Structure 1
Amino acid sequence: MKALNRLSIRARITMGTLLLAAVFFGGVSLVVRQQVDMIMQNAAFEVLQNDATPFETAIQQEPNEPGDNPGEGQLVAVIDPAGATQTSTLPASITSNMALIDLAGTGPQQLVAGGATYLVAVETVETGAGNWTIISARNQEESALVLTDLTAGLTLGLGALTLLFGAVSWRLIGAALRPVTQLRRSAEAIVASDTEELLPVGPAKDEITDLATTLNRLIDDLRASASRERQLVSDASHELRTPLAVLQAQLELLRTGDRSSIDSDILAAERATTRLTELVESLLELSRLDAGRPPTPTTVGALVDEAGGAIDRARLRAMSDDVEIDLIMPDHADHAAPIAMPALLYGRVLDNLLSNAVRALDGKGQITATIRLDPPHLITFVTDNGPGIDPEFLPHAFDRFSQEDKVRGTANGSGLGLAIVAAAAASVNGTVTLENAADSGLIVRLTIPVTQERPDPLRENLEAGPNNATAPALDSNSPSRTGNGS
C-alpha cells in the first residue's frame, strides 16, 4: 500500500482501470467460452441423436431387425431386450466401461475411457417384445481442440484489448490532468518570480476551473495577509520607536543630567513606559482577535455590568476634566438573554470608544453610552459632542495605526483602538460604524447579535482569569446612569 501511494495519480488511476478492464474482459472470456462449449455440446448431442434415429425407425418397423450397420465414423451399439448386443461399432474402451453409462438417462453423458473423452447419448425404443437400447458416442477430442484454440484466441485478443485500453486510459488521464500540471507550473513560476499574477483560469466550466478560482482566492488572501503582516510590523516598529527613544533619552538624563529634575525625568519615563505597555497590550489583543478563537457567549446582564465598569473607568480617566459621562440602559430588557460577545471583550471595546471620546473632547464636553436590546441584536451607541472626525478620514478610521493628521505626532493614542473595536465586532459577526453628528460630535454604533448558545459561567471566568478584575460597576437594575468625571 505504501508503494502504491508513492505512485502518481495518473499511474494509480491507470492501474485501477487496467484492473477493472482485466476483470471485465476476463469475465467476458469465461462467459464466451462457456457459451461456445454449451453450443458445441448441444450440437454434438443432436448429431448423436440423429445417428440413433435410423435404428429407432427400423426397430419400430421390424422389432427383430435392428437395421443396417452404422455408417463410417458412427459409434453406435444396439442392444436387444435380452441384453445382447446386435450391432456395435463402439471401441473396446467404451465396451469395457458400459457399466459407467446410465442406460436410463435421457441427456448427454460424459465418459472417459481409454484416455479419451466421449459424449454419449442413450435412446430407448419400446416394442412388444421389450425395450431396445441404442447407444451412440462421439469422441470429444476435436471439440476440446476447438475450445483450446478459442481460449488461446480470447486470451490473446482480450489481453491485447486490455493493454490497448490501459494505453488509451493513460493518454486520456494524462490529458485530463494536464491542466493540473499547468496550474502547478504556473504556481511555481509565481512563487519563483514573486509577481502579482494569478493562476490562469480556463474558459471551461469544470472542476479545474473551480480549483483555479479557489486557489486564486487563496493566493489573494495570502497576499493580503502577508501585506497586512508587513504593514503591521512596519507600523508597530514606527510606533514603538518614539516611546523607546524617549525612554532611552530620559534614562540617559537620569544617569548624566541634572539631579534637580529627577522627578520630571522619572515622570516622562513613566509616561513613555505606559505608552509602550498600552501599545503592546493592543497588539496582543489584536493578535488574539485575529486568531479566530470562537467567542464565549454571555448575557445581557453581564454586558450591562461591564458597561457600568467601563463608565466608571472612563470617569476616573476624566476626573480632572470638565467631562460628563452618562450611561443609558434599557428599562425592561431580558438580562438573561444570551449575547455572542464575551463580557470582558465588550468592556475593552467600550474602554477604547470612551477613551477616544475623552481625548476628542480635550477637557470639556459630554459623552453618552446607550445600550438598546433590539432582537436579534444588542445595539450600543457611544456619542460625544466633540469635533467629530474628518470625513476624508472616516473610511480609514478602522485601519490599524491610522490616525488623523491633527492627532499624529502627539502622545494621544496609537491608532489601534478602533482597529480593536472593529476586530472584536467581526469576531462575533457583529458590525461597528462611525458617523459624524448633524451638529457636532461623533456617533459610534456597535451591533452585537443575540445567540442561541447559553453562556458557560465556568469557561467565562477561566478566560477572564484572576488578573482581569475590573472597576466596580454601578447598579445594573437602574434604567440609566448619569454623572460627570469632575
Structure 2
Amino acid sequence: MTALNRLSVRARITIGTLLLAAVFFGSVSLLVRQQVDQIVKNAAFEVLQDDAVPFETAIQQEPNEPADNPGEGQLVAVIDPAGTTKTSTLPASITSNMALIDLADTGPQQVSAGGATYMVAVETVQTRAGNWTIISARNQNESALVLTDLTAGLTLGLGALTLLFGAVSWHLIGAALRPVTQLRRSAEAIVASGTEELLPVGPAKDEITDLARTLNRLIDDLRASASRERQLVSDASHELRTPLAVLQAQLELLRAGDRSSIDSDIAGAERATTRLTELVESLLELSRLDAGRPPTPTTVGALVDEAGEAIDRARLRAMSDDVEIDLIVPDRAEHEAPVAMPALLYGRVLDNLLSNALRALDGKGQITAAIRWDPPNLTTIVADNGPGIDPEFLPHAFDRFSQADKVRGTADGSGLGLAIVAAAAASVNGTVTLENAADSGLIVRLTIPVLQLDVR
C-alpha cells in the first residue's frame, strides 16, 4: 500500500480500472466457458440418444431378430433381456469395465477407461420378452480439445481487451486530469512571478471549474490577509514611533540633568509608556481575535455582571468630570441563557466603547449602556450625547488605526478600539453597527447570538 501511495493519481486510477477490468473479463470468460461446456455436453448427449434410436426401432419391430450392426464411427452395444451382448462396437476398455456404467441411469455419464474419457448414454427398450439395453458412447477428448482451445482464445482475447481497456483508461484519465495540471502550472507561474493574477477558470461547469473558483477565492483571501498584515505592521510602526520618540526625548532631558522640569518629564514619560502599553495590548487582543480560536460560551448573567464592572471603571475614569453613566439590564429571568461571547472579551468591548464615548464628551455629557434580551440575540446599545461622527467617516470607523479626531475629541486614542469591537463581534458571529443620533451623539449597537433558547 505504501508503494502504491507513491504512484501518481493517474497511475493509481489506471491500476484500479485494470484490476476491475481483469475481474470482469475473467468472470465473463469463466461464464462463457461454462456455457460452452454445457452446450457441448448437451449436444453430445443428444447425439448419443440419436445413435440409439435405430436400435430401439428395430427391437420394437422385431424383438426376436438380432439388431443391425452400428454405423461407422458409432460406439454402441445392444444387450438382450438375458444379458447377452448381441452387438457391440464399444472399445475393449469400456467392455472390460462395464461395472462402471450405471444401467439404471438414463442421463449422461462420464466413464474414464483406457486413458480416455467417454460420455455414455443408456436406453432401455421394453418388450414382451423383457427389457433390452442399448449403450451408446462417445470419446470426449475432442470436446476437451475444443474447450482447451476456447479457453486459450478467451484468455488471449480478453487479456488483450483488458490491456486495451487499461490504455484507454490511461489516456482518458490523463485528459481528465490535464486541467488540474494546467492549474498547478498556472499556480507555480503566479508564485514565481508574484503577479496579482488569478487561476484561469474554464467555461465548463464541472469539478475542475469549481476547484479553480475555490482556489481563486482562497488566493484572494490570502492576498487580503497578507495586505492586512502589511498594513497592520505599517500602521503599528507609525503609531509606535510617536510615543517612543517622546519617551526617548524625555529620557534625554532627564539625563541632561535639568532638575527644573524633572516632574513634567517623568509625567510625559509615563504618558508615553501608558500609550505604548495600550497599543501593545490592543495589538495582542487583535492578534488573538484574528487567530480564530473558538470562544468560550457564557451566560447573560455573566455579561451583565461584567457590564456592571465596566460601568464602574468608566465612572472611576470620569470621577472628576460632569459625566453621567447609566446601565440598563434585562430581567433576571433571562440571566441563565447561554451566549457565545466570553465575559472578559465582552468587558473589553464595553471598555473600548465607553472610553470612546468619554473622549467624545470631553468632560460633560451622558452615556447610557443598555443590555436587551432580543432572541435570538442579546443586544447591547451604548449611546452618548456627544458630537457624533462625520457621516463620511462612518464606513471607515472600524478600520484599524483610523480616528476621526476633529469630530470625536482628542487624538489620545490608538485607533484600535472599534477595530477590536468589530473583531470581537465577528469572532462569535455577531454584528456591530454605528449610527449618529437624531439630535446629537453616537449610538453603537452590538448583537451577540444566543446559543439556545428555552421556550416554555
What's the TM-score, normalizing by structure 1? 0.89
Equivalent residue for 1:465?
Answer: none
Name the residue aligned to 2:135.
135
Q: In 2 relative to 1, CA 391–408 (structure 1 residues): closer, same or farther, beyond 3 Å?
A: closer
Distance in 2 of aligned mates of 1:66 and 1:160: 58
Rounded Cα–Cα distance in structure 2 between residues aligned with 1:404 and 1:30: 85
Rate the CA distance shift 1:5–1:55 in 2: closer, same or farther, 3 A: same
Name the CA shift for 1:106/1:180 in 2 (closer, same or farther; >3 Å). Answer: same
Distance in 2, matches of 1:447 and 1:51, equals 99
- Once the two structures are superposed, what CA deviation does each residue of 1:112-168 show, in whole Å capped at 9, x if it has no partner? 111111111111112222221111111112111211111111111111111111111
Partner of 1:177: 177
Compute the displacement of 1:345 (Å).
Answer: 1.4
- Would you say the 8 A contact 1:122–1:136 is kept in 2? yes
Instruction: Answer whether contact 2:361 2:409 (CA < 8 A) is retained.
Output: no
Distance 1:68 1:47 in 2: 18
The 1:283/1:142 distance shift into structure 2, 3 A limit, reads same
Change over 3 Å in CA distance of 1:388–1:138 after alignment to 2: same
1:20 positional shift: 0.9
Alpha-carbon contact 1:381-1:443 (below 8 Å) kept: yes
1:333 Cα deviation after fit: 5.6
What residue in structure 2 maps to residue 300 of structure 1?
A: 300
CA contact (8 A) 1:186 1:199 kept: yes
Shift of 1:302: 2.2
Structure 1 residue 407, shift from structure 2 partner: 8.2
Deviates more, 1:439-448 or 1:399-408: 399-408
- How much has 1:408 moved relative to structure 2? 11
Higher mean alpha-carbon deviation, 430-439 vs 370-379, is at 370-379
Residue 332 of structure 1, CA deviation: 6.5
Question: TM-score normalized by structure 2?
Answer: 0.94
Higher relative contact order (CA 8 A, sep 6+): 1
The answer (yes or no) to whether the contact 2:388–2:407 under 8 Å persists in 1 is no
Instruction: Give distance in 2, aligned partners of 1:90 and 1:300.
Output: 105
Shift of 1:429: 1.7
Deviation readout 1:264-297 (Å, 9 max, x if unpaired)? 2221111111111111111111112112222222
Q: More displaced, 426-435 or 325-334?
A: 325-334
Cα distance in 2 for residues equivalent to 1:294 and 1:133? 93
8 Å Cα contact 1:74/1:89 also seen in 2: yes
| Structure 2 CA distance for aligned equivalents of residues 287 and 107 of structure 1 | 89
Assess if the C-alpha contact under 8 Å between 1:434 and 1:443 holds in 2: yes
Equivalence for 2:18: 18
Residues 169-215 of structure 1: per-residue CA shift (max 9 Å, x gap)? 11111111111111111111111111111111122211111111111
* More off after superposition, 7-16 vs 284-293: 284-293
SS for the counterpart of 1:282 is helix
CA distance in 2, matches of 1:332, 1:84: 116
State the alpha-carbon separation in 2 of the partners of residues 184 and 192 from structure 1.
12
Alpha-carbon shift at residue 411 of structure 1 (Å): 5.2
Question: Deviations along 1:59-86, whole A, 9 cap, x unmatched?
Answer: 1122222321111111111112222211
d(CA) in 2 for partners of 1:438 and 1:178?
61
Structure 1 stretches of at least 4 aligned residues deviating more than 6 Å after TM superposition: 407-410
Aligned pair count reads 450
Contact 2:405 2:411 (C-alpha < 8 Å) held by counterparts:
no
Q: Sequence identity, in percent?
A: 91
Q: Distance in 1 between matches of 2:118 and 2:220?
A: 80
8 Å Cα contact 2:286-2:420 kept in structure 1: yes
Give the 3 Å change call, closer, same or farther, for CA 306–102 of structure 1 in structure 2: same
Partner SS state of residue 90, structure 1: coil
Measure how far apart 1:323 and its partner are: 2.1
Quote the offset at 1:335 in angstroms: 2.5
- Separation of aligned partners in 1, 2:233 and 2:326: 38
- Root-mean-square deviation (CA), in Å? 1.8
Gaps of 5+ in 1: 451-486
User: Does the 8 Å contact 1:55/1:66 carry over to 2?
Assistant: no
Q: How far did residue 396 of structure 1 move?
A: 0.4
Say whether the 8 Å CA contact 1:75–1:137 is kept in structure 2.
yes
- Superposition pairs of residues 31-430 of structure 1, within 5 angstroms: 31-330=31-330, 334-404=334-404, 406=406, 412-430=412-430
How far apart in 1 are the matches of 2:147 and 2:102?
Answer: 26
